[in-house]
Amino acid sequence: MNIDGAIIVIEDDKDDQDILAELFAEICTEQGYKNKVIILEDSSKVFNYLKDNKVEPFIILSDINMPKLDGFALRDLIFSDPELRRVCIPYIFLTTSGSNLNNIEKAYCRSIQGYFQKPADYNDFKNLLHRILSYWKSSKTPPKY
């Protein structure tokens, strides 16, 4: 895991994209994080983006309910690739369907690293994202081989 790598956000909703971009900009500025934030709205292009650009993201935050390729299918696709799996990219669901027990069970059956409901309150959302980033910035992973 590259703690200074890009924060990849997979979100198809334009309003959520704008809010997430603003929140991450504030958090990164306040905490002195140098991570670039990349927002991808078409989930069907994420796998090729990760492979073609040879990026080493810090973290992936993904919505679940998206057209073309839902968050579960995208997680499966990324995790099935030996090269991407070896990079140890935390894959976290950030969704409005936070209380959907079926989705929560499906997520954790895939060894997801986190499942969070998007808070409606701006400050609560900011605090949640800050805690997620802070946790993963402190986490240790095996060296890249």
pLDDT of residue 144: 60
Helices (H), 1-145: 14-31, 46-52, 71-79, 82-86, 101-109, 122-138
Instruction: Give me the residue spans of the domains in the chain.
Output: 7-137
User: For tokens 């946790």, what's the residue?
Assistant: 135
User: For tokens 């924060």, what's the residue?
Assistant: 7
Domain 7-137: assigned CATH number: 3.40.50.2300
Strand partners, 62: 10, 93
pLDDT(145) > 60? no
Percentage with pLDDT > 70 across the chain: 96
pLDDT of residue 61: 95
58 or 83, greater pLDDT: 58
Q: What is the rounded distance in angstroms from the CA atom of residue 125 to the CA atom of residue 140? A: 25
65 touches 123 (CB < 8 A) = no
pLDDT of residue 1: 72
Cα–Cα separations (whole angstroms), residue 36 to 65, 69, 73, 103, 130 = 24, 24, 25, 29, 15
Across all residues in the chain, what is the average pLDDT? Answer: 88
Question: pTM of the predicted model, to two decimals?
Answer: 0.88
Q: What is the rounded distance in angstroms from the CA atom of residue 39 to the CA atom of residue 104? A: 23
Span 81-131, pLDDT tens digits:
888 877 778 999 998 876 778 888 888 888 888 899 999 999 999 999 999
Average confidence (pLDDT) over 16-20? 94
